[in-house]
C-alpha cells in the first residue's frame, strides 16, 4: 500500500465516518475540527466524494451543520441518503434530520 501523507486526511475521514454508530449523524465541521482542519469543512465533503469510490463508507451519516442532507444529490439516488438514515431510525423531515441535536455524534467527544 502506498502510504502517502496525502491520503492521511482522507483516511482519517473514512475512519471517523465508519466509526459513526447507526442511527447517529455528524457534521462536516465536527469532523474537520477533529482532524485539525477546523474551518475547512469543505475538505471533509471532498473526502466523502472520494469515499464514494470506496464501498463501506456510510457517507449518508454525515450531514451539514444544520442537519440538512446537502450531499444526497451525490448519491446514486437523491432519496438513497434519506432512506438509509430512516432505516437506521433517523427520521428525516424536509431533507433535514429530526432531533439533529440529539442524534449528533461528535468524534471529538465520543472518541475522547
Partner DNA sequence: GGCTTGACAATCG
Partner DNA sequence: CCGATTGCCAAGC
Give yes or no for a contact between 41 and 27, defined as CB atoms under 8 angstroms apart. yes
Q: Which 8-state DSSP code applies to residue 96?
A: E
Shorter beta-carbon distance to DNA: residue 80 or 111: 80
Task: Decide: is 52 part of the binding site for DNA (CB under 7 A).
Answer: yes
Shorter beta-carbon distance to DNA: residue 23 or 61: 61
Helix (H) or strand (E) holding 8: helix 5-19
- Kindly report the backbone phi and psi dihedral angles of residue 27, in degrees, each rounded to the nearest multiple of 5, phi listed first: -110, 160
| Beta carbon of residue 88, minimum distance to DNA (angstroms, whole number) | 15
Residues contributing to the site for DNA (CB under 7 A): 6, 9, 27-29, 37, 39-46, 48-49, 51-52, 59-60, 62, 64-66, 70-75, 81
Amino acid at each position: 500500500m502506498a502510504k502517502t501523507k496525502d491520503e492521511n486526511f482522507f483516511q482519517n475521514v473514512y475512519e471517523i465516518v465508519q466509526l459513526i454508530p447507526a442511527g447517529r449523524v455528524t457534521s462536516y465541521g465536527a469532523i474537520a475540527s477533529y482532524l485539525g482542519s477546523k474551518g475547512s469543512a469543505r475538505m471533509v465533503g471532498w473526502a466523502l466524494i472520494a469515499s464514494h469510490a470506496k464501498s463501506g463508507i456510510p457517507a449518508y451519516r454525515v450531514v451539514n451543520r444544520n442537519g440538512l442532507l446537502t450531499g444526497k444529490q451525490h448519491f446514486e439516488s437523491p432519496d438513497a441518503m434519506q432512506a438509509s438514515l430512516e432505516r437506521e431510525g433517523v427520521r428525516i423531515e424536509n431533507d433535514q434530520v429530526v432531533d439533529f441535536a440529539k442524534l449528533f455524534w461528535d468524534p471529538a467527544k465520543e472518541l475522547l
